[in-house]
Structure formats: structure tokens, C-alpha cells
């Protein structure tokens, strides 16, 4: 049963957050036993992903201080943040324009359009960085038309996870958690959650997971050495170490979650779970590792050029 099923709410915004943790026992077995691996089910958010949290915080903070008044919100996105912006924009009557790489999944294009969002496409060859540059160009050309939250530089992004994700994990597991491992995209999840966990009394190791190569197939994640580094990425005192994960290992982990746990998630979730498994294996018995499942797998049905060829 959903945690939200017995709640009365005034808006879809009230359904964001307070997502459940699920214990991944099959992953624990692969890690060698004597460990616990928990995953935050962010696909339970109403927009279907962890990005609902950051989008809500960025929009509400901008409404509160007047930056969004009378303007269209524009931002670059590989998909999930765009869905969140679109959903919240529809609920609050805010026009949304999104800039995204042309090769994002058809599902994400269709979902955002369903909310009435205007889409602008950047080159698929330039990835998320190309979308960032095009969005910035559009804002520079019409500064009075657009409000540009810039999820990669907006402190409200990690703030959402500091106030929400990190606090929720501590309420659920308290003094038992030993490690937090999550992927880097905008870096908001790892920065905000990590900062909150580092304030806890017990030492908690924070591990940032990234693709192991610039030419990877993990949509939503960044290979930081070859990317525009987000301004909110300030790992000193928060992130203890980086953990590179190959694309194939992440894809395999996502497939196994579906087949062994009945949890159908995207490939960034696969990277997070593969990383959490490595962290637990290295730490050994007594480790309690928490990770994040950023979104559902159904948004990846439409194959892209770099994807495996599945037969359904």
C-alpha cells in the first residue's frame, strides 16, 4: 500500500516526498551477506522520479521571492526534471519551456507535452551540456520572458534533499546507517542528502557514483571529468569518495532488480544499486548501505541509438 493512500491533500505538490525504503535482499546476497542494503523508492513521487523534490523546492522558493512572477520557467533537462517542472507548472498555472537533447526517450517527450509544456531540442551529440548551453542562450536573448532556475547551480536543488531525503533516511534508519551511495547528475541528491547525513552523530560514509567513461549509456548521470561541473557540486566535507560504475554493470543491476525483486527501475537506479553492492561488499558484515532508485523503468522503453536491442 502506498504511504500516500490514506492522506488528504490540497495539491499534487503535497504528495512529493516521504517515499518508502525497500530492503534489497537479493543484492545483499551478492554483496556477500551480513550487510543490509536499502533503497529509497523515488519513483513513488507523483511525477515518477526523485526530481519532483528539487523542482518543487526551486519553484516554491522562486515564487516566494518574486523571481518567477509573470514569467515562463525555462530549464535544461534530460527528462525527469522536465516532467516534474511540467507537473508542478500545470498544478500552479506556470508556463514551462524545456530544453532537452533530441535523443531523450519518447516517453519523456510525450509526458511533458501532455502537461502543456513547450519543448525545444538541442543536439543529441552534445548531451546534457548542449541543452544547458542552449537554455542559457535563450535566456540571454529574452531575459524578461524567462525565469531560469538552472537546476545545476540552484541551491534550492540540494536544499530539497537536505530538508527531505536526508531527514527521511535518518528517521527511518537512525543510528544504523553506515553508508550512503548515490549517483551524480545535477549532484543535488548527493550534496543535499550527504550534507544532512554528515550532521548526524555517527560517522556515515558518503559515496558518489558516476559513469566510468565519458561515452556512457546512463541517462541522467554525469561523468564529471568530461562534463560541465555543476556549481552546486561542492564535495569537500560531504563526499568521501567517487565510485565509477561501467554502463553494462548498471544495466545488469537494473535487470536483476526487476527479475529478482519485482522492482522495475531505470538505469541510473541500476548504477546506484551496483555501487551500493560494491560499497557493502567492501565494508563487510555490519554495513547498512542506503541508495536511491531515481525513477521507473517504463520511461526507457523506446530504444535509443546506444541502447541494447530488447525483444518484447
pLDDT in tens, 23-47: 999 999 999 989 999 999 999 999 9
Alpha carbon dihedral 75, 79, 84, 90, in 10-degree steps, equals: 80
Q: How confident is the model at residue 129 (pLDDT cuts 50, 70, 90)?
A: confident
Name residue, grid cell 518484447.
Answer: 312
pLDDT at position 302: 54
C-alpha span between 278 and 230 (Å, rounded): 26
Catalytic residue among 40, 51, 159, 222: 51
Active site residue 128: no
More confidently predicted of 54 and 3: 54
pLDDT of 6:
65
Range(s) for CATH 3.40.50.1100 in the chain? 12-49+155-300, 51-147
Residue 306 has pLDDT above 50, yes or no: no
For 202, the 3-state DSSP assignment is coil
- The CATH number given to 12-49+155-300 is 3.40.50.1100
Confidence at residue 275, expressed as pLDDT on a 0 to 100 scale: 98
Bridge-based pairing of strands 36-41 and 21-23 is: antiparallel
- How far apart, in whole angstroms, are the C-alpha atoms of residue 122 and residue 124? 6
Mean pLDDT of 177-204: 96
- The yes-or-no verdict on residue 2 having pLDDT over 50 is no
Once rounded to an integer, what is the mean pLDDT over residues 188-198? 98
CATH top class, domain 51-147: alpha beta
For residue 254, pLDDT beyond 70: yes
Among 180, 129, 215, 164, which residue's Cα sits nearest to residue 51?
164
- pLDDT-derived band at 1 (thresholds 50, 70, 90) equals very low
Name the CA radius of gyration of the chain, rounded. Answer: 18
The pLDDT value recorded for residue 240 is 98
Closest listed residue to residue 169, CA positions, set 31, 257, 3, 38 = 38
> Which residues partner with 118 through β-bridges?
97
Flag whether pLDDT at 308 surpasses 60. Answer: no
Closest CA to 181 of 275, 49, 294, 43: 275
Q: Tell me the pLDDT tens digit for each residue of 74-100.
A: 998 867 899 999 999 999 999 999 999
Cβ contact 169:291 at 8 Å: no
Average pLDDT over residues 299-305: 58
Q: What is the pLDDT of residue 73?
A: 98
Is 268 one of the annotated active-site residues of the chain?
A: yes
Q: What are phi and psi of 122, to 5 degrees?
A: -100, 170
User: Given this model, what pLDDT does residue 32 score?
Assistant: 92
**pLDDT value of residue 246:** 96
Which one of 76, 122, 156, 268 is the catalytic residue?
268
Amino acid at each position: 500500500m502506498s504511504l500516500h493512500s490514506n492522506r488528504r491533500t490540497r495539491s499534487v505538490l503535497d504528495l512529493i516526498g516521504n517515499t518508502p525504503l525497500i530492503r534489497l535482499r537479493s543484492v545483499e546476497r551478492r554483496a556477500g551477506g551480513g550487510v543490509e542494503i536499502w533503497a529509497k523508492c523515488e519513483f513513488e513521487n507523483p511525477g515518477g522520479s526523485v526530481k519532483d523534490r528539487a523542482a518543487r523546492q526551486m519553484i516554491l522558493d522562486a515564487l516566494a521571492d518574486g523571481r518567477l512572477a509573470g514569467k515562463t520557467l525555462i530549464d535544461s533537462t534530460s527528462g525527469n526534471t522536465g516532467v516534474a517542472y511540467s507537473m508542478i507548472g500545470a498544478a500552479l498555472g506556470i508556463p514551462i519551456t524545456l530544453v532537452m537533447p533530441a535523443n531523450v526517450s519518447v516517453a519523456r517527450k510525450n509526458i511533458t507535452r501532455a502537461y502543456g509544456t513547450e519543448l525545444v531540442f538541442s543536439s543529441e551529440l552534445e548531451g546534457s551540456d548542449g541543452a544547458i548551453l542552449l537554455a542559457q542562450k535563450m535566456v540571454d536573448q529574452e531575459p524578461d520572458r524567462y525565469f531560469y532556475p538552472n537546476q545545476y547551480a540552484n541551491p534550492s536543488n540540494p536544499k530539497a534533499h537536505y530538508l527531505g531525503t536526508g531527514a527521511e533516511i535518518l528517521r527511518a534508519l537512525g543510528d544504523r546507517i553506515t553508508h550512503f551511495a548515490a549517483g551524480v547528475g545535477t549532484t543535488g541528491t548527493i550534496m543535499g542528502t550527504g550534507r544532512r547525513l554528515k550532521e548526524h552523530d555517527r560517522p556515515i560514509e558518503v559515496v558518489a557514483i558516476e559513469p566510468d567513461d565519458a561515452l556512457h549509456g546512463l541517462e541522467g548521470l554525469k561523468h564529471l571529468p568530461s562534463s560541465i561541473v555543476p556549481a552546486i557540486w561542492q564535495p569537500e566535507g560531504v563526499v568521501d569518495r567517487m565510485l565509477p560504475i561501467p554502463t553494462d554493470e548498471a544495466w545488469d543491476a537494473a535487470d536483476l532488480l526487476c527479475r529478482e525483486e519485482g522492482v522495475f527501475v531505470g538505469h541510473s537506479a541500476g548504477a546506484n544499486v551496483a555501487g551500493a553492492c560494491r560499497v557493502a561488499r567492501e565494508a563487510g558484515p555490519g554495513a547498512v548501505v542506503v541508495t536511491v532508485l531515481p525513477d521507473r523503468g517504463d520511461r526507457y522503453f523506446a530504444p535509443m541509438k546506444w541502447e541494447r536491442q530488447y525483444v518484447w
